Chain A
């Protein structure tokens, strides 16, 4: 995403003033500030830059239902972060832990304006289109701005040698075509992570004709019941991140440092098996976390770190009908490298990943090609 000059970030387009209903309320109504001066500093005194940070008092005056949803919005509240950290033993009543969390995790919070008016603050902000409001968030500048290396790059084919997702290449589908208005990004009242969202999209919602006997040999009962769609249809490697160390440097500046990312493709056991995700085999991605995440702030701030795998359930957005691993049966069967085995996991993370690591004897054996 090309950076914006600072003046571009705040330039209001005539089109906004002429056509956008939001212009009718005037600047002061939402942003405050001082109306009776043309001196820059004086005019901005008391101004609220991020209007969407308090939806009930701003956007919610008209969009009442969205203000209601904002109270549980997963992007705004980061319930997913909190759920995972709490599961690893993070104590959200401990001031030390809260300081660490606030210093390093809350920067990725997003409110209404971060998607519908400007680029996300976490990426430096700046008006998307001269203050015009976008009902549908921009796929590359907002959704893909934050979910970049782990979603957007997959989707548009940004990783060398790996084709884009067919839903983008052939159909030009936007994020919101699957992740509809009901989903967690507006209403996270289910709590926890996005995987607990009962309205989260599934492949089968559109591909309802996929079932045993549909003419595709591998779509037999066993494969369909035991394997997530991505296991066969992800077009190649996707990005895994490793390690994340947080701290405050000598100048008092907060920072995080992660290890170099890697392109990986690993099949493992399903760590979040449920009625919605009943499969045994899923794709896994290493999350940017480690036991020492908050070590700068104190010892053992994540005492139950091993409660969750660091190789987590993932759904790469690089789906294709034909992929390297599904071209023939034995492109997957007997291919040890495709599976997450103990040797792929750092020794100090093996306990955490025990539920997802595949034992060598569990790797599907080669089959005689030509059969089903």
Chain B
């Protein structure tokens, strides 16, 4: 009898451990953590602007970015998005419109010295 109880106890414990593992995978197995580990290889990447894509999407800040709906001041006083990144609709609408681009696109004035010569 004692042996049977012990076996039942062991089976129960195994079931609980299995349930925990299935419902909550270990931290090292999550994509976010894996990304963080990879990012830590790159010293340049250890900046507020980077780490991994998933985190970046929720706390992105850019020097040229203004605050908009869903944005908030971050610790450095800059704006960081707490929702998704802003819509690119305006950019895409123009940059896929050949007629509009032909009308609006301007080459920066080429500045070449008259003294320049030879092959680069």
Contacts and interface: CB of A to CB of B under 8 A. Distances in A.
Given A29-B85, A34-B66, A62 B118 contact: no
Given A47-B64, A254-B113, A61 B56 contact: yes
Q: Chain B binding site: helix, strand, loop or mixed by DSSP?
A: loop
A150 to B, nearest CB: 9
A48 B98 contact: no
Contact of A249 (B66, B89, B115): B115
Given A12-B92, A48-B63, A65-B41, 13 more contacts: A28-B88, A34-B64, A34-B66, A35-B90, A35-B91, A56-B50, A62-B53, A67-B42, A251-B113, A253-B112, A253-B113, A255-B113, A261-B119
A25 B60 CA distance: 12
A20 interface: no
A271 B113 CA distance: 36
Contacts of B43: 71
Interface of A: 5-7, 9-14, 17, 25-29, 31-38, 40, 43, 45-48, 55-57, 60-62, 64-65, 67-68, 70-71, 108, 122, 149, 241, 243-244, 247, 249, 251, 253-261, 288
Contacts of A38: 90, 93-94
B88 A35 contact: yes
Interface string B83-120: 00111111111111010011011110001111111111
The 6 closest A-B pairs by CB, nearest first: A46-B64, A258-B118, A32-B64, A56-B44, A255-B113, A35-B86
A28 B45 contact: no
A247 B86 contact: no
Given A10-B101, A12-B96, A60 B45 contact: yes
Q: Chain A binding site: helix, strand, loop or mixed by DSSP?
A: mixed
A14 B96 contact: yes
A64 B41 contact: yes
30 contacts: A9-B105, A10-B105, A11-B95, A11-B101, A12-B95, A29-B60, A29-B62, A29-B85, A31-B91, A32-B63, A35-B86, A35-B91, A38-B90, A38-B93, A38-B94, A43-B91, A43-B94, A48-B64, A60-B50, A61-B52, A61-B53, A62-B53, A67-B44, A71-B44, A108-B120, A244-B118, A249-B114, A249-B115, A253-B113, A258-B118
A35 B90 CA distance: 7
